Amino acid sequence: MNVDALYQEIILDHYKRPHGAGLRDGGDAEVHHVNPTCGDEITLRVHLDGDVVRDISYDAQGCSISQASASVLNDLVVGHTVAEGFTTLDAFQELMQGKGQVEPDEDVLEDGIAFAGVAQFPARVKCALLSWMAFKDAATQATGAQAAGKESS
């Protein structure tokens, strides 16, 4: 298997200069996700403005794939509604779990298409999905809290 398919230039760029890295104050939900088999960790906060994801801040420890994936997540989801974020997440997850058979849509995934090669390395799929699953969890909690807040007010 060609390792260059895994380590696309775009991925290495995101790894070296991750977008939106660091935890910022505030946020509507914070989660901590761990990949127990390899020890990769991410603490991620979702900052909402109504139903728009105003920011995703995160502190991640892990390999180039997991770090670059968190950076791409930040690019693709910040500024969009939670629902749009979940649609993008579905597309990214489909690509990752497609065993290299899924043709990615560049309009939806932008730099995320660089992860197409990761799908051919089953052991690394979980690295690419770590931050996305953390986002899903945090956004679900945040919107759940919002809904609960509306009901009680």
Partner 1 sequence: MAATYDVAQVRDDFPILQRRLAGDLPLVYLDSANTSQKPRQVVDAIDAHYLAHNANVARAMHQLGAEASEAFELGRTKVAGFIGANRREEVVFTKNASEALNLVARVLGDAGAVGPGDEIVISQMEHHSNIVPWQLLAERTGATLRWFGLTPEGRLDLENDPIGERTKIVAVTWVSNMLGTINPVADLVARAKAVGAYSVVDASQAVPQVPVDLAALDADFVAFTGHKMVGPTGIGVLWGRYDLLASLPPFLGGGEMIETVTMERSTFAAPPARFEAGTPPIAQAVGLGAAVDYLSSLGMENVAAHEQAVTAYALERLLEIDGLTVVGPTEPVDRGGAISFTLDGVHPHDVAQLLDSKGVAVRAGHHCAKPAHACFGVQSTTRASFYLYTTEAEIDALVAAIWHTKKYFGA
- As measured in angstroms, the least distance from the Cβ of 54 to partner 1 is 30
Q: Does 6 bind partner 1 (CB under 8 A)?
A: yes
Q: Does 39 bind partner 1 (CB under 8 A)?
A: yes
- Residue written as token pair 């502190």: 59
Sign of CA dihedral 136, 111, 5, 101: positive
Q: Does 112 bind partner 1 (CB under 8 A)?
A: no
Strand order in the sheet with 29-34: 29-34, 41-49, 52-61
Instruction: Choose, by CB under 8 A, the member of 7, 102, 108, 133 that binds partner 1.
Output: 7
Q: Does 117 bind partner 1 (CB under 8 A)?
A: no
Please, are residues 78 and 53 in contact by the beta-carbon 8 Å criterion?
yes
Within positions 49 to 78, which residues make up the interface with partner 1, using CB under 8 A? 61-65, 67
The residue count for binding partner 1 (CB under 8 A) is 20
At 26, list the tokens. 């505030």
* Binding region for partner 1 (CB under 8 A) out of 39-47, 91-99, 104-112, 130-138: 39-47
- As measured in angstroms, the least distance from the Cβ of 74 to partner 1 is 19
21: three-class secondary structure by DSSP: strand
- As measured in angstroms, the least distance from the Cβ of 123 to partner 1 is 8
Nearer to partner 1, 79 or 122 (CB): 122
Please, are residues 28 and 46 in contact by the beta-carbon 8 Å criterion?
yes
82: three-class secondary structure by DSSP: helix
